[in-house]
Amino acid sequence: MKCGGKGSLRWGAGLALASLLVGAGAAYGEPNDNKLVIDGQTLTTEAAAPEGVELDKLYSGWRFRSPETQELQTDDFENPAMVAVDQGAELWGTVDGSAGKSCMSCHGEAEASMKGVRAGYPKWSDKRGKPHTLETQINECRTDRMEADAWKWESSNMLGMTAFVGLQSRGMPVKVQTDGPMAQWHAKGKELYFTRVGQLNMSCANCHQENYGKMIRADHLSQGHINGFPVYRLKWGGLGSSHRRFKGCMENIRATPFKRGSDEFVALELYLASRGAGLSVETPSVRN
């Protein structure tokens, strides 16, 4: 087998992690130094690592993208995710369901009522006896309060709404509760993050904690934070949730992925949010 050439490597059973990594030398080791400024607002793309997280420093995934991809996120007119945000904004004011209400009927202008909300999710729900993701919270409002149908996790309505709600927190630091009733969910997420799975027998940490900065096939490995979700992926040609990304990463290591919205992915989402605490919410971000 040829070594070192980009594109000469393939995913496959039995390949050691070392052979997946390309150009592990210093040239690729660092995130780039570009500043993320959107509409005059500077976002925090590097921060001190929270206690208990074994990283020298936190870096947003944006810092590992090429300048061309980065630029798409610095200008809302260029950002391809804004079409979905507009759809979310329209849904916000649209009456749906037997109760004859829209989100706006109860929450008023999202710019005020939804400010800061994204930064604190997943969030404990006494009613559910488990954490709410933004998706399940929105669906609870739809089914229980609007008497409307729940939206599917990865539907364009849900992605448009989570992007629109998320945008109201853009620039605010991620900060989730990890104590109290959230403690066991956080612990579960941490366990999943460090457990090796799949035919390649790898954990999230093997790539995103131990090898970020290196090239894996043609991709620059980031720390795998979720502060930009839902993200617009050029590869997907649209928005996707963090759970879709988790699923893709698990499939790449030939593991059987958990389902979107499963307790496992909710726990992982909580743990990942806590690992990225202090980075700005970037929703909706753009990735390759």
Q: Which of 145, 152, 175, 254 binds ligand HEC (CB under 6 A)?
A: 145
- Which residues 174-193 are close enough to bind ligand HEC by CB under 6 A? none
Q: Closest distance between ligand HEC and the C-beta of residue 155, in Å?
A: 12
Identified binder of ligand HEC from the candidate list 43, 82, 146, 159, rule CB under 6 A? 146
Q: Which of 204, 277, 281, 286 binds ligand HEC (CB under 6 A)?
A: 204
Q: How far is the CB of 172 from ligand HEC (least distance, A)?
A: 13
**CA Rg, the chain, in Å?**
19
Q: Which of 16, 37, 48, 106 binds ligand HEC (CB under 6 A)?
A: 106
**Using CA atoms, how far apart are residues 65 and 19, in angstroms rounded to an integer?**
22
- In angstroms, give the least distance from the CB of 58 to ligand HEC: 11
Residue number, 6 or 40, with CB nearest to ligand HEC: 6
Report the residue from 214, 225, 260, 275 that binds ligand HEC according to the rule CB under 6 A. Answer: 225
By the rule CB under 6 A, 157 interacts with ligand HEC: no
Count of residues interacting with ligand HEC (CB under 6 A): 41
Among 228, 230, 240, 276, binds ligand HEC (CB under 6 A): 228
Q: Tell me whether the omega of the peptide bond preceding residue 257 falls within 30 degrees of 0, making it cis.
A: no
Nearest to 198 by CA among 261, 246, 233, 154: 246
Q: Which two tokens stand for residue 88?
A: 């979310």
The amino acid that residue 247 corresponds to is K
Q: Please work out, in degrees rounded to the nearest 5, the angle formed at the alpha carbon of residue 207 by the alpha carbons of 163 and 195.
A: 95
Q: Taking CB under 6 A as the rule, does residue 141 contact ligand HEC?
A: yes
Minimum CB distance to ligand HEC, residue 205 (Å): 8
Secondary structure (H, E, C), 127-171: CCCEEECHHHHHHHHHHHHCCCCCCCCCCHHHHHHHHHHHHCCCC
Q: At what angle do helices 82-92 and 156-167 cross, to 10 degrees?
A: 90
Q: Contacts with ligand HEC in 243-262 (CB under 6 A)?
A: 245-246, 249-250, 252-253
List the catalytic residues.
249
Closest Cα partner for 241 from 142, 121, 102?
121
249 CB-side CA count, 13 A: 25
Q: Which of 112, 113, 245, 123 is nearest to 174 (CA)?
A: 123
Judged by CB under 6 A, the chain residues 51 through 90 that form the site for ligand HEC are: 61, 64
Task: Output the CA angle 272-276-278, nearest 5 degrees.
Answer: 150
Q: Quick one: which of 163, 176, 266, 268 contacts ligand HEC (CB under 6 A)?
A: 268
Give the nearer residue to ligand HEC in terms of CB position, either 146 or 159.
146
- Which H or E run contains 200? none
The residues binding ligand HEC (CB under 6 A) are 20, 61, 64, 101, 103, 105-107, 117, 123, 137-138, 141-142, 145-146, 161, 165, 202, 204, 206-208, 216, 219, 221-222, 224-226, 228, 231, 242, 245-246, 249-250, 252-253, 268, 287
